[in-house]
């Protein structure tokens, strides 16, 4: 296989179907290896830095543990510890970090900041979530769905909720893996037009379908898996009252599941606001794969680190 110039993971659009499949193969491999033999030292001597502007249980813990599983170490920069753009410029800060660490893992509000980090860094940059994209979550979802269902090409993913960063990345991943994708949301909360313009050719190329359906009952009628996320993302707290009112009919509950085919699965990127976008009866049911997906964040992020830092795993 020809090695690619996979230097950063800022957005899944920078990959292609083959590279995504290869990343997932690595993730399955390292998960099996860890379950059988425990940690290794593939990245012994390597250091990652977590550059997070706000805390997240799953993202911080899984990246720290992933690095530890392959023999590396992690430095965590607390949000207030570096006055990025105030005490010093983004460019200066990232040039310093590039001299000290092997990979920068950033979780920010603005996607443009991760893009700026990637432009100025001389080491790989990983997007651990921005306002526009959440590529690691989408990859963990793909691994989890494959574990549960095997061959997933042709499956129908229905995202019920806001056309947010998770929806954007799931849509990109679906198109690249040959999955139909439907967003079911209130009018005005669709995936941004510029994202749709970028992903439509991917769906056409891979023979699958992207759609928007404002009636959630109709949207899930042929779903193989229903996905949801919080209605109000971080940074949108001031809009909570208005948004909740618009999304009341988009709760993933037993009534909505009754409109879906038998065997339909459910997932959530977590944390969940139980009783808002999803009910306890669904989240804790046997058809819920959200906690398996949370576990796979660990393994898929390990695969990303290896693909970026180890020649053995280069895509």
Span 182-196, pLDDT tens digits:
999 999 999 999 999
- CATH fold label, 12-133+297-309: Rossmann fold (3.40.50)
- CATH fold label, 137-293: Rossmann fold (3.40.50)
12-133+297-309 matches 137-293 in fold: yes
Distance CA 216, CA 256 (A): 8
Quick check: 78 pLDDT over 90?
Answer: no
Q: For tokens 């909740």, what's the residue?
A: 244
Distance CA 87, CA 214 (A): 46
How far is the CA of 154 from the CAs of 25, 110, 134, 266, in angstroms?
19, 33, 23, 17
Quick check: 61 pLDDT over 90?
Answer: yes
Domain positions in the chain: 12-133+297-309, 137-293
Confidence of residue 201 (pLDDT cuts 50, 70, 90): very high
Specify which residues 210 forms β-bridges with: 181
How far is the CA of 22 from the CAs of 50, 85, 135, 249, 303, in angstroms?
25, 36, 15, 39, 9
Distance CA 26, CA 304 (A): 8
Model confidence pLDDT, tens digit, residues 225-277: 999 999 987 667 777 888 889 999 999 999 999 999 999 999 999 999 999 99
Specify which residues 156 forms β-bridges with: 180
Cis peptide before 271 (omega within 30 of 0): yes
Upper half-sphere CA count for residue 286 (Cβ side, 13 Å): 2
Distance CA 55, CA 62 (A): 13
Quick check: 80 pLDDT over 70?
Answer: no
More confident residue, 51 or 183: 183
Helical ranges in 178-277 per DSSP H: 193-205, 216-219, 240-247, 254-257
Quick check: 87 pLDDT over 60?
Answer: yes
Q: For tokens 């779903």, what's the residue?
A: 223
């Amino acid at each position: 296989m020809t090695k690619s110039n996979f230097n950063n993971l800022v957005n899944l659009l920078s990959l292609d179907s083959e590279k995504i499949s290869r990343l997932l193969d690595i993730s399955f491999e390292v998960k099996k290896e860890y379950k059988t033999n425990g940690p290794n030292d593939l990245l012994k001597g390597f250091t990652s830095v977590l550059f997070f502007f706000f805390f997240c249980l799953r993202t911080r813990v899984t990246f720290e543990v992933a690095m530890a599983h392959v023999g590396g170490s992690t430095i965590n920069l607390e949000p207030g510890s570096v006055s990025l753009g105030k005490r010093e410029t983004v460019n200066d800060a990232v040039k310093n970090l590039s001299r000290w660490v092997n990979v920068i893992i950033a979780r920010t509000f603005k996607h443009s900041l991760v893009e700026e980090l990637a432009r100025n860094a001389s080491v790989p940059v990983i997007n651990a979530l921005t306002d526009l994209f959440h590529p690691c979550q989408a990859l963990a979802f793909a691994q989890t769905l494959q574990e549960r269902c095997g061959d997933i090409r042709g499956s129908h993913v229905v995202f019920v909720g806001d056309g947010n960063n998770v929806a954007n990345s799931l849509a990109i991943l679906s198109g690249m893996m040959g999955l139909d994708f439907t967003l079911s949301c209130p009018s005005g909360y669709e995936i941004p037009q510029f994202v749709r313009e970028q992903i439509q050719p991917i769906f056409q190329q891979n023979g699958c379908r992207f759609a928007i359906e404002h009636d959630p009952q109709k949207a899930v009628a042929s779903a193989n898996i229903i996905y949801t996320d919080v209605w109000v993302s971080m940074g949108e707290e001031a809009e909570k009252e208005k948004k909740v009112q618009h999304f009341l009919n988009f709760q993933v509950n037993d009534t909505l599941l009754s409109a879906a085919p038998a065997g339909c699965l459910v997932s959530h990127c977590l944390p969940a606001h139980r009783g808002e976008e999803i009910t306890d009866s669904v989240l804790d049911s046997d058809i819920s794969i959200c906690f398996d997906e949370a576990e796979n964040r660990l393994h898929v992020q390990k695969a990303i680190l290896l693909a970026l830092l180890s020649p053995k795993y280069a895509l």
